[in-house]
Amino acid sequence: MAIFHYRARGAHGDAIEGTIDAGSPDLAAARLIEGGLTPVDIQPFIERVSLGGNLEMLFRPKVQSADLIQFSRQMHSMLRAGIPIFRAVTGLASTTSNRSLAQTLHQASASLESGHSLSDALGQHPRVFSVFYISLVRVGETSGKLTEIFQQLAFYLDREKTTRGKIKSALRYPTFVISAIAVALAVISIWVIPAFDKLFKSFGAELPLPTRILMAISDFMVAYWPALLLLLAMLMGGVRLYLNTEPGRYRWDKLRLRLPLVGTVIYRASLARFSHLFSMAMNSGVPLMTALTVVAHALNNSYLEERILGMRGGVEHGKALSLTAANSGIFDPLVLQMLAVGEESGTMSELLAELADYYEREVDYAIDRLSAAIEPILTVVIGGLVLVMAMGIFLPMWNLASVALH
C-alpha cells in the first residue's frame, strides 16, 4: 500500500489536508469520497524530516488497539457527562500516555478549534483512525448518537483485540518450536556433522546411505552458507514486495482463508467481524450502500473486500441483499439465512449481532482445536528429525564400535 498526501474539502467546504494509505490515487479518492470528503489534489507522499525528526519517529510508540479502546471509552464517559467535544479531546490529548496518540489528539483539537467537525478532525489521521471508525463517528454526529457510537466502538475494538490475542497465542508455540528446529538443524549441519565426518573418515569404513546423505547436505551448507543466506534474504524480500502489490495482496488474502488448520479460524473470524460491523452500521442508521462500502474496507482482506463491494451492483439494480450475498460466494449458509430473515422481518441488525456472537464462540472453539491439532503434528515432525539424525550419526558409530570389538 502506498501513502498519498491529499487536499480535500469537507461537507461545509472547509479545506482539509492529510495522508491516506491506498493502492492507487483512484482508490485514495474513492476512500476520501466514502469518508464524506471531496478530493481536490492527491499526490504521492514524500516525507521530508530532519535527523531529529527521524529519530523521533523511530522511537515514537505506535497507536495500539488498547489505546483506541481507552480513547473510545473515555470519550463515551465524557460526552455522557455533558462535557463538550472540544474540551473532551483537549483533555484526553493532555492525559493520554501514548505520545503518538497525544500528538494526534492535539492536532485534532486544533482542527476542532478552527471549525472542523470531529469526524473531519480525526479523518486527517488515517494511520490512527480507520475508515470505519471515522464513518461511524460521522454518523453519530449527524444522528445525535455520538455518545452511543463511542460505546459501540469501544466494545467492538475490545472484542477484536481479544480475538487477535487468542489467535496469536495459539500460533506462538508452533512458531517458537519451528524456529528452534530450524536453528538446531543449521547448527547440526554446519558444526556437528563435519566433526563426525572427520571421525568416520579416519576409520575408512563404508558409511550407511542416511549418513552419506547427511554428510552431503552438511558439506553443501558449509561450502555455500553465505549464498544460501543471501538467497533466503532475497526470497523473503521478493515475497514481501510482491505481497505489497495489489495482485499479491489479493492472492495472499484469498489463500490464507484456505490454509490448512488456520484457514478456518481466519475465515470464521472474518465472518464474525463482518457480522458485527454490519450490525453496528445498520443499527447506527448508515445507508445500506455506504455500510457495504465501509465494512468492506474495514475487513482488512482485499479478496473479501472485492466480493463485498461487488454486492453493491446487485443491490443498486434492486436485488435483495441476501441474493447478492449468495452470488458473492464468500458466505456460509447460516449468514445467508440470517440476511434473508433479517430482510423479511426488518431485524437485520439484531440478527447480525447474534450471528457475530455465534461466530466469536466458533472462533474460540476453532482456536482450541487448532492448538490441539498442532501439538501432535509438531511431535511427529520432531520425532522424524530425531530418527533421521539417529540413523545418520549413531548408526555408523554403532557399526564402528562393533568392528572395534571384533
pLDDT along the chain (406 residues), means of 10: 70 67 71 73 62 47 87 93 91 87 90 86 87 82 84 86 81 82 79 74 70 81 87 93 90 90 86 86 81 82 89 86 89 89 86 88 83 81 79 70 58
Cα separation of 403 and 206, whole Å? 12
Cβ burial 88-102 (10 Å sphere, 16+ → b, else e)? bbbebbeebebebbb
Interval 67-81: pLDDT, tens = 999 999 999 999 999
CA-wise closest residue to 45 among 13, 85, 5, 18 = 5
d(CA 308, CA 330): 9
Contact 332, 271 (CB under 8 A): yes
97-152: pLDDT as tens digits:
888 898 899 999 888 888 888 988 898 888 888 877 887 888 788 778 889 889 98
Q: What is the pLDDT of residue 390?
A: 74
The total of other beta-carbon atoms located within 10 Å of residue 288's CB is: 16
Entry pTM:
0.69
φ, ψ (nearest 5 deg) of residue 316: -65, -30
Task: Give yes or no for a contact between 193 and 210, defined as CB atoms under 8 angstroms apart.
Answer: no
CA 296 to chain centre: 14
The overall average pLDDT reported for the chain is 81
Predicted pLDDT at 50: 43
Q: Confirm if 273 and 299 have CB atoms less than 8 A apart.
A: yes
For residue 228 the three cell numbers come to 544460501
Cell numbers representing residue 269 in the block: 473470524
- In order, the DSSP letters of 171-186 are HHHHHHHHHHHHHHHH
User: Helix, strand or coil for residue 330?
Assistant: coil
Please name the fold of domain 157-406: Receptor-associated Protein (1.20.81)
- For helices 395-405 and 209-243, give the axis angle rounded to 10 degrees: 160
The answer to whether 335 touches 240, Cβ cutoff 8 Å, is no
Q: Which residue is associated with the grid cell 573418515?
A: 201
Q: What per-residue confidence (pLDDT) applies to 255? A: 93
Tell me if residue 197 falls in helix, strand or coil. helix
Nearest CA to 228 among 189, 254, 193, 259? Answer: 189
For the chain, give the number of residues. 406
